[in-house]
Amino acid sequence: MKENTMLNRRITVIDALRGFALLGVLLVHMSQHYSYASADPFTTHEPFLAGWNEGANWFVRTMLSGKFINIFAFLFGMSFFIQMDRAAKKGICFEGRFLWRMVVLFVIGIVGNCFYSQDILSIYAFFGVILLFLNRFKNWILIMIAVLLLAGGPQYVMMGYNELTGTPVQEISFVDADAGSPRNIETTYIESLEHTMTRANAWKLNFQFVKRSRGYVTLAIFILGLVVGRTRFFENVHLKKRRNWILLGGFTLLLCLCNYLIDLFPPQENIWKVMQEGKIPALSAMALQTLSDLKLMLASSVITMAFIVLYQMKGIGNVLDWLAPYGRMGLTNYVCQNIIGACLFAVWACGFTFSFWQPAESLLLGLIIYSVQVVICKVWLNKFQYGPLEWLWRSLTYFKAQPFLKK
């Protein structure tokens, strides 16, 4: 009985952390209006939280942006290990099944992409396949690969391509489609869908893999999630209170050091602009980019360990347990967030009302949406074993309808 309680506590903290990560993801996307442009620039809107806008912008930029999505990615990598480990303990080869599982996730991501151009599930599915092939390597090799990705290895490859061919790296683009902006200003859903699947998708791919290193950082985080999973860090995380405090302090000190080093750099040239001109960026510019990526990862680590430390405290932990059902239904909630965001801010839906809302108002609305989702998830999982999309994903994975109702 005690062993089962400990196991449930371990699983619950992972689910609660995933639910918490999705709160940050939702608030960032709400502040960006889910990449939909305002319906009419000449329409006036009197914000009812105007005095809070500057603080809201600071909060999103400093505390949320890029950090919570890192936690979400880390948990994806760790969940991969958990699935493979459970199958191995049962003597089951899960590799083929997991590969098909990523195909299904890719399709779900494409459907989600029809509403929100920056949906990341299809990219996660692609990285999941890569993770499957990397799983055969030892931890030290995986860590080296992650370090190379974080240190700008892919950018150096692109620079080598420039030098060997004399051809500057070009943006990813579609025929008759400008890859300039993800902002969607289309007035009908069909026009919006065409924009999303061409121009906005090109922008996303450029941001992830060409202009920025976001995609490579995400893959590195996936790999680190796998490595941490192998260490079985979360199996006794609720018992190792001293270790968790030490890690929280250590990550905080490293974050402060990283901030200090970044402040030592003078303003640097844009790496992508230099590479587009067929030149090699300065080493200092590459170093600054690496430090900036590392800063985001360290900030995510601080937030993760702070959450775990708070979760260990009896009173606060009981409150945070409310986020566990939300995390268990993470796929359903993420897709629903994107659909709700599209319906709120797109011109073809409610954009003439909500697209003018300013940062503070958008964050408040995001908190309301999240709170409603938390309650729905709590009630839902009292009656059902899985969230709707989790059930669909699992059923398609095994080619068999899975039990849905709780007995």
DSSP string, 229-250: HHTTGGGSTTT-HHHHHHHHHH
Alpha-helical segments (H) within 265-282: 271-276
d(CA 131, CA 133) in angstroms, rounded, equals: 5
Q: What is the mean pLDDT of residues 219-223?
A: 95
- The reply to whether 277 falls in a domain is yes
Backbone angles phi, psi at 378, to 5 degrees: -60, -45
d(CA 205, CA 172) in angstroms, rounded, equals: 7
| Nearest to 24, CA basis, from 327, 249, 319 | 327
* Mean pLDDT across the chain: 84
Higher pLDDT residue, 231 or 37? 231
Q: Which residue type is seen at 238?
A: H
- The reply to whether 403 falls in a domain is no
The pLDDT assigned to 38 comes to 56
Query: Residue 22 is part of which domain span?
Result: 2-398
**Dihedral angle, C-alpha 140, 141, 142, 147, nearest 10 °:** 90
- The reply to whether 407 falls in a domain is no
pLDDT in tens, 68-83: 999 999 999 999 998 8
Hey, which of 34-38, 179-183, 197-201, 258-262 has the most confident mean pLDDT?
258-262
Q: Give the pair of three-digit tokens for residue 384.
A: 């059902």
- Count structural domains, the chain: 1
For tokens 């400008």, what's the residue? Answer: 178
d(CA 10, CA 26) in angstroms, rounded, equals: 25
Quick check: 282 pLDDT over 70? Answer: no
The pLDDT assigned to 116 comes to 86
- Cross-strand pairs, 184: 36
Quick check: 194 pLDDT over 70? Answer: yes
Higher pLDDT residue, 142 or 43? 142
Contact between residue 146 and residue 224 where contact means Cβ atoms under 8 Å apart: yes
CB neighbour list of residue 34: distance below 8 Å, 6 or more residues apart? 116, 118, 338, 341, 342, 344, 345, 346
CB neighbour list of residue 176: distance below 8 Å, 6 or more residues apart? none
The pLDDT assigned to 3 comes to 43
CA distances from 73 to 22, 79, 141 (A): 11, 10, 20
- The reply to whether 317 falls in a domain is yes
Residues, the chain = 407
Q: Give the pair of three-digit tokens for residue 178.
A: 């400008």
Higher pLDDT residue, 114 or 184? 114
- The reply to whether 240 falls in a domain is yes
| Nearest to 216, CA basis, from 142, 150, 133, 124 | 150
d(CA 279, CA 391) in angstroms, rounded, equals: 50
- The reply to whether 362 falls in a domain is yes
pLDDT above 70 covers a percentage of the chain that reads 83
Dihedral sign computed on CA atoms, order 160, 162, 166, 172: positive
For tokens 């860590």, what's the residue? Answer: 143
- The reply to whether 404 falls in a domain is no
| Nearest to 311, CA basis, from 300, 323, 327 | 323
pLDDT in tens, 292-332: 889 999 999 999 999 999 998 888 988 999 999 999 999 99
The pLDDT assigned to 36 comes to 67
Contact between residue 261 and residue 284 where contact means Cβ atoms under 8 Å apart: no
The pLDDT assigned to 260 comes to 92
Contact between residue 57 and residue 359 where contact means Cβ atoms under 8 Å apart: yes
- The reply to whether 405 falls in a domain is no
The pLDDT assigned to 252 comes to 97
Contact between residue 320 and residue 16 where contact means Cβ atoms under 8 Å apart: yes
Q: Which residue type is seen at 191?
A: E
